[in-house]
Amino acid sequence: MTETGGREVTFLEAVREAMVQEMRRDPTVFLMGEDIGIYGGAFGVSKGMLDEFGPERVRETPISEAGFTGVATGAALMGMRPIVEIMFLDFITLAMDALVNQAAKMRFMFGGNASIPLVCRAPSGSGTGAAAQHSQSLEAWFINAPGIKVVAPSSAYDAKGLLTTAIRDNNPVLFIEHKLLYRTKGAVPENSYTIPFGKAEVRRQGKDITIIAYSIMAQRALEAATRLAEEGIEAEVVDPRTLKPLDVETIVGSVAKTGRALIVHEAPVTGGFGGELTSAIVESHAFDYLDAPVRRLGGRNIPIPYNRTLERASVPQVEDIVETARALAREGK
């Protein structure tokens, strides 16, 4: 981990910093999306960028997600490095053809005669009272779509380093930013740095159980681990950081050590990324060390409701992680 000199910034600022530094460094990098200019984007991520880079490179678009994601694909095909902001991950439903059928497939389908260095940034998740169509966690779709990488950072530090890597990557990358992380702070070096894809981070060491969690759930898992420690349960928290490529080795290594695995994500549990993680564990040598079944704690299988209480009850909270982990840690003992 790079020296930060005690400097703390928010996740949101870290995302912006990665974009700004890459845009200074490489004239082919530019940002495209709705209301990213003077408005600064729906969440303020690009605030101030218009002033520095002008409307050519902080390019506001009409409300046309399919169109501008396709445009970004075409620009990337020409060697530009567009970053596309989809205002809410939910609206990526409008750009699935552009991302999955075009951007992700072009290299292979064209026999290697193309590369598409495209980053698609999108705020995900619930917790802001925006209801069913503005609160989804759709990462699982892209795991099953070869040709696109998927990144879901949980800290400001990772956000900056992984986004820098994403922008320099020569392939389409979906970069998922949980809305509730935007205001969280963390130590972040001012200088530019990269974090390699496919390297999980063990956020906390433990011997009793492995909790695998990404994006905001990595933070909640850490809080849960602190509480569990008070009860004498030492949880190891592994944050894969990039879901594709996935650092199977670190995950499996941890599970082989603890013998127990709890997977946590916000997306509905059924059909979520948890199944892939379960398979990765079960198909590995860690299977022989399992003292209890691999467990998933995911969002409930419902659209996200508007009411605050219902919304909170729809996705894993710290107390849910504590409870599930506790039960799993005791299972079979």
Catalytically annotated residues:
65, 134
Task: Between 134 and 241, name the residue whose CB sits nearer to another protein.
Answer: 134
Q: Residues 124, 52, 56, 196: is their CA dihedral positive or negative?
A: negative
Compute CA distances 314 → 60, 184, 187, 317, 322, whole Å.
34, 22, 31, 9, 16
Question: Is 240 near a copy of itself (CB under 8 A)?
Answer: no
Q: Which of 132, 231, 319, 330 binds a copy of itself (CB under 8 A)?
A: 132
Q: How far is the CB of 94 from ligand TPP (least distance, A)?
A: 6
Residue 198 touching another protein (CB under 8 A):
no
CA 272 to centroid of chain Cα atoms: 14
**Which of 108, 61, 53, 112 has its CA nearest to residue 84?**
61
Cβ distance to ligand TPP smaller for residue 94 or 96: 94
Residue whose CB is less far from ligand TPP, 39 or 108: 39
- Interface residue with another protein among 1, 38, 249, 327 (CB under 8 A) is 38
In this chain, which of 38, 63, 313, 327 binds ligand TPP, going by CB under 6 A?
A: 63
Exposure string for 189-218, b = 16+ CB within 10 A, e = fewer: beebbbbebeebbebbebebbbbbbbbbbb
Which of residues 26, 51, 52, 109 is near another protein by CB under 8 A? 109
- Phi-psi region at 112: left, alpha or beta (left = phi > 0; alpha = psi -120 to 50): left
Measured from the CB atom, is 308 or 330 closer to another protein? 308
Cα 26 → chain centroid: 24
Site for a copy of itself in 290-319 (CB under 8 A): 293-296, 301-303, 305
Judged by CB under 8 A, the residue of 9, 23, 31, 76 near another protein is 76
Tell which residue, 15, 69, 22, has the closest CA to residue 43. Answer: 15
* Residues that bind ligand TPP in the complex, under the rule CB under 6 A: 34, 63, 65, 87, 91, 94
